[in-house]
Amino acid sequence: MRSRRPLIVLLGACVAVVHGASLALAQVSIDPTSSPERNTGGWVYGMAVLVAVLGALVLLALGFAYFRYAPRFAR
């Protein structure tokens, strides 16, 4: 029983090393001669800008509504 434990640990270590090597082989090699292309996000970036503008407009509307209907500013 005592002689099996180091053998199991050694076998587990070997499996981990082999598995790590297979993951390292799956890496993508980058071609240094190719030119990069610009990726701006497409329509998602445009929608993010639109939502940011809409959020600013809503904040402005809430601020004006507060100044209009707050009792302190209504006098």
**pLDDT over 70 at 8, yes or no:** yes
The model's pLDDT over 10-68, given as tens digits with 9 standing for 90+, comes to 888 888 777 776 676 667 788 889 888 888 888 999 999 999 999 999 999 999 998 88
Cβ neighbours for 73, distance < 8 A, ≥ 6 positions apart: 66, 67
In the prediction, which pLDDT does 48 show? 94
Cβ neighbours for 41, distance < 8 A, ≥ 6 positions apart: 48
Higher pLDDT, 74 or 66: 66
